Amino acid sequence: MPVLPSWLTDPLRDQFAALLPEHPTVDPSHPLGCHRPRISDRIIFDKLLRLLRFGCSYQAIADTTCSATTIRNRRDEWTRLGLFARLKQIALESYDRIVGLVLDQIAVDGSITKAPGGEVAGRSPVDRGKQGLKRSGMTDGYGIPLGRVLAGANRHDSPLLAPTLDLLDDLGPLPDDITVHLDAGYDSDKTRTELTVRNLHGRIAHKGEKAPIQASQRWHVERTHAWQNAFHRLARCYERRAAVVNAFFDLADTIITVRSLLRQAWTTHRWDDRPKRRS
């Protein structure tokens, strides 16, 4: 059974292949000209998709086609080149062009997941002091992930709001009136001042009162957190370097964005390899 349906993986592979720099099949600097050929980028990309979806170890996903060391080395190479971040940016631009991002309604919230160790791990207040990872995620009005800030699980949501909102600068032109939906954890004068300085409107749930009545649009970011946690590599993160964690998050956000794009465009557009039904 494939890790993802072909109507989703095929456009991902094609676009990622277009971003890859050219490499010779055999290293021309080898003195005998008989070095082992380079493992196909498609094989490595498919392995990374399996790692992201199932959360298993590199040794478990390695086989006769490539070793765990090759997967790690190619992952680091692509991370240094910023290919995962670029792939996510292309997916966002495509979604905005075809469907349209709902940027006048923004939702921000934090989510804590398990992380046994690493650069951004911290003591989790909801897991008996074990190491955990917090992500401060931001989505548009539909739930398309726009970016995230990683921190230790012991960090409060409120101080992470400013660096999370800074990610809006990467989205290009923004609407004049933007409403930011936040839960009761952001209910403070500091948060309201931060939003005022940025000319943003805040819809913040008040402490001690039922949040759904006051912040009815905040559920979009909660749903996006659930979408991300469906990728087991993110729900229990064993990666130690922040750059690698962000790379896997960018890949997951790309899948979420492309999946939403295809599902919404299915009713309004026609193309040659369009799925037979709206999945």
- For residue range 55-67, list pLDDT tens digits in order: 999 999 999 999 9
State the virtual CA torsion across 92, 93, 99, 102 in degrees, nearest 10.
60
Structure-model confidence comparison of residues 35 and 60, the more confident one: 60
Asked if pLDDT for residue 94 goes beyond 50, the answer is yes
Q: Which of 26-35, 163-172, 184-193, 264-273 has the least mean pLDDT?
A: 26-35
Which pLDDT tens digit goes with each residue over 207-256?
877 655 444 688 899 999 999 999 999 999 999 999 999 999 999 999 99
Mean pLDDT of 47-75: 94
Asked if pLDDT for residue 185 goes beyond 90, the answer is no
In DSSP terms, 134 is beta-bridged to 112, 151
Place of tokens 């409403």: 179
**What pLDDT is attached to residue 226?**
95
- Cα 96 to Cα 43, 101, 144, 147, 264, distances in angstroms: 30, 5, 10, 15, 12
Strand, coil or helix: 12: helix
Mean pLDDT of 71-83: 96
> Burial of 35 by CB count in 10 Å (0-12 exposed, 13-18 middle, 19+ buried)?
middle
Cα 95-18-29 angle, rounded to 5 deg = 155
**What pLDDT is attached to residue 213?**
45
Using pLDDT thresholds of 50, 70 and 90, give the confidence band for residue 99.
very high
Asked if pLDDT for residue 179 goes beyond 90, the answer is yes
- Please answer whether residues 179 and 202 qualify as being in contact, where contact means their C-beta atoms are separated by less than 8 angstroms: yes
Mean pLDDT of 12-36: 80
Mean pLDDT of 167-194: 91
State the virtual CA torsion across 104, 263, 259, 42 in degrees, nearest 10.
-140
Mean pLDDT of 101-121: 92
Structure-model confidence comparison of residues 279 and 38, the more confident one: 38
**What pLDDT is attached to residue 164?**
96
Mean pLDDT of 175-197: 92
Handedness of CA 45, 46, 51, 54 (dihedral sign): positive
Q: At 230, phi and psi to the nearest 5?
A: -70, -20
Which pTM does this prediction carry?
A: 0.92
Structure-model confidence comparison of residues 24 and 45, the more confident one: 45
217 residue type, one letter: Q
Please state, in angstroms and rounded to a whole number, the distance separating the CA atoms of residues 233 and 248: 8
Asked if pLDDT for residue 31 goes beyond 50, the answer is yes
Q: Which of 204, 226, 200, 222 is nearest to 214 (CA)?
A: 204
Asked if pLDDT for residue 33 goes beyond 90, the answer is no
Structure-model confidence comparison of residues 2 and 204, the more confident one: 204
> How many residues does the structure list for the chain?
279
DSSP, res 217:
T
Distance of CA 277 to the CA centre of its chain: 26
Handedness of CA 51, 1, 220, 256 (dihedral sign): positive
Mean pLDDT of 129-135: 92
- List strand residue ranges (DSSP E) for 160-269, in order: 179-182, 201-204
Mean pLDDT of 191-213: 83
**Averaged pLDDT of the chain:** 89
Share of the chain above pLDDT 90, in %: 69
Mean pLDDT of 105-112: 94
